Amino acid sequence: MPHRPLGDFAAVEPLLALCATGKLYEVEAWIADGRPLQFSPSEQRKLRRKRPALQTAIDRRFHSLAALLLANGYDPCGDYYEYLTDAICAKDREMVELLLRFGADPTAVDFCDVLQSCERSLMDRFVGLGVDPCRDNAVARALSIKGRPILGFIKQYRDRFPGLQHQIDIALHVFVVEEDLHGIALMLWLGAAMC
């Protein structure tokens, strides 16, 4: 289904209230009337603080509301907000899959957040979608926060992504500066070398 045209905030505000109060049938009637589901991204700070309808659905883990909005033309890439990260951090695989199915951009996600979820299936899914785990030093940042849970990921993908070695080296440097002996030992076990 094509994405619906964006409306102005005043036209969408009643929908936001319906979503916030969980009134699924009223949202369905709103959609049937052909009214807008999203408002145009604004430069006004006040409007940027307003929760879009899809964000409310994701925060509340209201899958049926999210599915209703997306199936009826809500563009998951049409807001100022990137939705996948919240679903990933909540470890809500169903919501992640729903967003991806309706066109959310997997490359917009910081892969460090995927790694910090410690959900191996999510890590594999995003790599399978073409996300580069080395972009923006995502693996190095994740190693310095949660080293041990992502060691298996690194071991599996090391040959496919030669840049992972550099990520390990960066993490070792961070652990040396922080004088974190456990982190240093883990990175040396992975084959890190001082930069």
CA dist 5 and 36 (Å) reads 7
Given this model, what pLDDT does residue 78 score?
83
Tens digits of residue pLDDT in 68-109 = 999 999 999 888 788 999 999 999 999 999 999 999 999 999
Given this model, what pLDDT does residue 159 score?
92
Given this model, what pLDDT does residue 7 score?
83
Given this model, what pLDDT does residue 84 score?
95
Given this model, what pLDDT does residue 51 score?
84
Tens digits of residue pLDDT in 166-181 = 999 999 999 999 999 9
CA dist 51 and 69 (Å) reads 14
Given this model, what pLDDT does residue 1 score?
66
Given this model, what pLDDT does residue 40 score?
80
Buried b / exposed e over 56-70, threshold 16 CB at 10 Å, is: bbbeeebeebbbbbb
Ranges in the chain, pLDDT < 70: 1, 42, 46-48, 147-148, 195
CA dist 111 and 106 (Å) reads 9
Q: Evaluate whether 70 touches 95 at the Cβ level (below 8 Å).
A: no
DSSP assignments along 94-107, one per residue: HHHHHHHHTT--GG
